[in-house]
Structure 1
Amino acid sequence: MAGAVTIEPGIVRRSRPLWLTLLALSTAGMVVSVQQTVVIPLLPRLMTVFGASVAEIAWVFTASLLAGAVATPLLSRLGDMYGKKRMILLTAGLLVLGSVICALSDSLPVLIVGRAVQGASAALIPLAIGTIRDTFPHARVMTAIGVVSATMGVGGSLGMIVTGLIADRTTSHHPVFWITAGVAAVAVVLIAVSAHDTGVRAGGRLDLIGALLLSSWLVCLLLAVSKGNDWGWGSGRVLGLFAAAAAVCAVWVVSQMRSRAPMVRLHLLVGRRSLPANLAALLLGFGMFGSFTLVSSFVQTPSSAGYGFGGSVLDVGLYALPSTVTMLVSSFMAGRLSARFGPAYSLAIGAGLTAAAFGWFTFFNASVLDLIGANAVQGLGFGVAYAALGALAVQHVPMDQSGIASGVNSLVRSIGGSVSGAITAALLTSITIAGTAVPARGAYTLSFAIVTASAVASALVALVCGVMAREVPEVG
């Protein structure tokens, strides 16, 4: 093949410098992270703007995760079939479109729709990881994933800081999304001129029925959790939604088992090697996204409530800066850590550090210094865990399944985050200061304890995954 060189069996790379590919993928990953966190500091303000409850406004965040959960395995599968670069461009384009819808929105339903379209861009992360595995020599894969993970961490904090700067100057949420649209458009151009497709293409067809069933049971589950306080946990509507979620989920599992080209290959979800990795991702996603929304609300709670810092939207982003710095450091070191201990044990270390940070703020949250210290430790954990999850998801699968394997791992992480957002919103709504709608301190303490336990469980599962990794040979 003219203009190309063979790096390893199954991997063909054009002579274009690898650093350009890494730059394009890192920029795109950063923009996706920006859209995931950009609304978090705005949630308390949006409650006032739209006259919505905590549970209702939580859908501005949850809708993005839910759409990502459905789109990720679909687009990852398409990436394996037709080329990952095409799908990366598509996801980045959806991010531009969703951002424009949000920027033009003047009602909560329209904003939620725009956030859902934005959320589909979550598929870009596993597509980028699959591209790295296809393109980079084996010895440099973990380092490259670590770099992308680092930029994702920067994007997460940058999104909150940009939101804070804008919120200090206007009460409108529109400028935030115009900025997101512009940056996403730049990412589209950069990917188009810098990235390229390599690797083995897989055959098959798209499982649209599987996508419809997956989205249906997830919506039923999350709607039941978010509306439990308003409708009553024993009401017919809530119980009916839970029953519908269980029934449709069972149908979805059967459809995936019988389909010749399933949306989610169940052996990549619950196989002997895949189940521990995906369970760890589910638990870590639950804790990670839950902590984001909890900290934002806690910081902005007036101290007159008996807790909170009475901070501004900008303060939320500034308090996250220590996490950004430590995440940068740990992400760039993650490759060496995984090379020495393996991705599973690295994930256990990262999840353990994350649990320590959550636990710190669960018991010690009276001072801003407690938050800053906890965020610094949290950044260390996220940096190591992000990189390890990406490598663990594709470590033992054939090359032509790297995109969907990474997509399944991202799927369960998004599901964990979606459920976490709904549960914590329900707790904050149900445990309030007497005579008010303001969440009581105990609601936050309980919520932080739950996300801490989730991170601890993720670390334990990762340890089990590490033990199992010694018993089964790697797939070439």
Structure 2
Amino acid sequence: MTSTTTTPKTGGLVFTLAFAGISASIMQTMVTPLIPQLPRIFDTSSSNTAWVVTVTLLAAAVAVPIAGRLGDIVGKRQMIIACAVPLIIGSIICALAPSVLVMIIGRGMQGLGMGVVPLGVALLRDVVPPEKLSSSIALVSATMGIGGAIGLPIASAVAEYADWRVLFWGAAGLAAVAATFVFFKVPSVPSQAKGQRVDLVGAIGLAAGLVSLLLAVSKGATWGWTSVTTITLFVAAVVLFAVWGWWELRTRDPLVDLRTTARPRVLMTNIASVFIGFGMYASMLVIPQVLQFPTQTGYGLGQSLLQAGLWMAPSGVMMMIVSPLGAKLTVARGAKTTLVTGALVIAVGYAASLGLMGTTWGLMIVGMIVNSGVGLAYGAMPTLIMSAVPRSETAAANGFNTLMRSLGTTIGAAVIGVILSQVTTDFGGTAIASENGFRIALIAGGGITLVAAVLAAVIPAVRTKAAEPSQAPVVDVSTGSVGIPEPAGR
């Protein structure tokens, strides 16, 4: 059927969703400069303040797939605006926090709003014309990395030269502006899953399983991998996920359609996403530490936190530059090729790091190469997912894919943390990560991304033309009316 509408102005729409994504992703790294200061600020132990980071991870892991499913049922635009509410409230709570407990509550609220990016990516399928869809998906997907890379130096500067509470007031204002833009610029699209019920049992089961698993993975090194607490959490996660899977296969309107998730194209993309997440995060853990370690170690570069953030900022810019190139590659050769290429570029970055980690410029180049690969991969994964799922499940499927990436980063953080804690050297009577430890971590990151490239290479092709995301309905961004694009001539 020929489209009954046109889409003359999608640039502002894509910019709005990208801005909303950056606003949300900044929340993840903005607290990094404060971590060493938090025990002194709140007069508590470092083990207590570590929850300021952990709780955001846990809340996001639980909220993202649930927000995705609600987006399919009640509307993606509505859920993006809803996700901005905990971002704003959580930031205000953190800005006013008199104690670490209140700060943890606020950070947990911020984590609840992290569904903005996958919801925005899914919404693009409904409102952007086919010829602009790949580039739009690539840009909005890349905001997960862009926001983090840009947010770190900004947060470092504020933490060093102003009151730390300004960080959170600024975050609240940013989220409020993003929500306002979405309200006025993003059209409301009829829900493809309207009338389906919310799977509360499935949501509770998934939340319980994820909390058990991620707590065990993220805190295992601190509690001990063989401790009763860690083992109990791993066992609980296995049991809870088994029961959750049984329920999801039997309920009428599941939170996550496991039959769709088990389709080879979706399954292999999600597995590859875990490895991409691992590979990406290895550099984010190693590069800042090498930049900031004292020069007296013989391999540290003696940079301040602000300087380290500025050296890393170009990597975020590279994601913005590479995303349209990845979109062109996707149009020409397919999203699978783009994902394989992205994984290989990340691996090249790690290979280069072994010879460039001795200088600040060298590490900046490494970060730019690695994040170029991440930009390619992050733009390709949603396209692969949406080409294989029904339109009524796009937000839920993208939310689940985002969860897989987050699971990869969590596992990566745990594995790299173990490597750096075991391969150490003595520095002034204190055991610190050695140069060999950093090199092993970088080799691990490169090896994992090569595995991701192999997994991506075996992702099966789309079986039918109707499954392609290019066959999405188009919404006129001025009127909100819906039309179906005419099939491409091929």
Deviations 1:154-177 (A, max 9, x none): 42222012112112214x532212
User: Aligned partners of 1:307 and 1:263: how far apart in 2?
Assistant: 49
* 1:192 correspondence with 2:186: no
Residues 289 and 417 of structure 1 are in contact (CA less than 8 Å); yes or no, is this contact kept in structure 2? yes
1:438 to 1:450, Cα distance in 2 relative to 1, 3 A:
same
Amino acid across the alignment from 2:182: I
Residues 74 and 206 of structure 1 are in contact (CA less than 8 Å); yes or no, is this contact kept in structure 2? no
* Aligned-pair CA distance for 1:44: 4.1
Taking every aligned residue pair, what percent have the same amino acid on both sides?
35
Q: Which residue of 1 aligns with 2:435?
A: 441
Q: How does 1:237-276 map to 2 (within 5 A)?
A: 237-276=229-268
Amino acid across the alignment from 2:74: Y
1:112 to 1:300, Cα distance in 2 relative to 1, 3 A:
farther
Residues 132 and 145 of structure 1 are in contact (CA less than 8 Å); yes or no, is this contact kept in structure 2? yes
Could you tell me which of 397, 402, 420 is aligned with 2:394?
Answer: 402
1:348 to 1:150, Cα distance in 2 relative to 1, 3 A:
same
Could you tell me which of 277, 284, 292 is aligned with 1:300?
Answer: 292
Q: Which residue of 2 aligns with 1:417?
A: 409
Q: Which residue of 2 aligns with 1:209?
A: 201
* Aligned-pair CA distance for 1:458: 1.5
Amino acid across the alignment from 1:64: T
* Aligned-pair CA distance for 1:385: 1.4
User: Aligned partners of 2:24 and 2:141: how far apart in 1?
Assistant: 12
Residues 280 and 461 of structure 1 are in contact (CA less than 8 Å); yes or no, is this contact kept in structure 2? yes
Residues 265 and 385 of structure 2 are in contact (CA less than 8 Å); yes or no, is this contact kept in structure 1? no
The answer for unaligned runs of 5 or more in structure 1 is 1-5
* 1:454 correspondence with 2:448: yes
User: Aligned partners of 1:173 and 1:333: how far apart in 2?
Assistant: 38
Could you tell me which of 21, 37, 42 is aligned with 1:29?
Answer: 21
Deviations 1:122-154 (A, max 9, x none): 211111111110011122111211332455544
Corresponding residue SS for 1:206: coil
Q: Which residue of 1 aligns with 2:339?
A: 347
* Aligned-pair CA distance for 1:222: 2.9
Amino acid across the alignment from 1:351: A
Q: Which residue of 2 aligns with 1:79?
A: 71
* Aligned-pair CA distance for 1:471: 5.2
Residues 267 and 274 of structure 1 are in contact (CA less than 8 Å); yes or no, is this contact kept in structure 2? no
* 1:115 correspondence with 2:101: no
* Aligned-pair CA distance for 1:368: 1.1
Amino acid across the alignment from 2:77: K
1:192 to 1:198, Cα distance in 2 relative to 1, 3 A:
same
Equivalent residue pairs, number: 464
User: Aligned partners of 1:345 and 1:56: how far apart in 2?
Assistant: 44
Q: Which residue of 2 aligns with 1:3?
A: none
Could you tell me which of 354, 358, 362 is aligned with 2:350?
Answer: 358
Deviations 1:356-378 (A, max 9, x none): 21333256422112201101212
* Aligned-pair CA distance for 1:200: 4.4
Could you tell me which of 133, 154, 157 is aligned with 2:149?
Answer: 157
Q: Which residue of 1 aligns with 2:325?
A: 333
Deviations 1:317-350 (A, max 9, x none): 2112331332222112222110111011101111
User: Aligned partners of 2:437 and 2:210: how far apart in 1?
Assistant: 25
Q: TM-score, normalised by structure 1?
A: 0.89
Amino acid across the alignment from 1:450: A
* 1:20 correspondence with 2:19: no
1:395 to 1:15, Cα distance in 2 relative to 1, 3 A:
closer
Could you tell me which of 53, 60, 66 is aligned with 1:68?
Answer: 60
User: Aligned partners of 1:446 and 1:111: how far apart in 2?
Assistant: 35
* Aligned-pair CA distance for 1:427: 4.0
Residues 282 and 414 of structure 1 are in contact (CA less than 8 Å); yes or no, is this contact kept in structure 2? yes
The answer for unaligned runs of 5 or more in structure 2 is 472-490
* 1:182 correspondence with 2:173: yes
Residues 121 and 141 of structure 2 are in contact (CA less than 8 Å); yes or no, is this contact kept in structure 1? no
Amino acid across the alignment from 1:97: I
* Aligned-pair CA distance for 1:473: 5.2
User: Aligned partners of 1:135 and 1:444: how far apart in 2?
Assistant: 45
User: Aligned partners of 2:2 and 2:19: how far apart in 1?
Assistant: 25
Range 443-452 or range 263-272, more displaced:
443-452
Residues 40 and 296 of structure 1 are in contact (CA less than 8 Å); yes or no, is this contact kept in structure 2? no
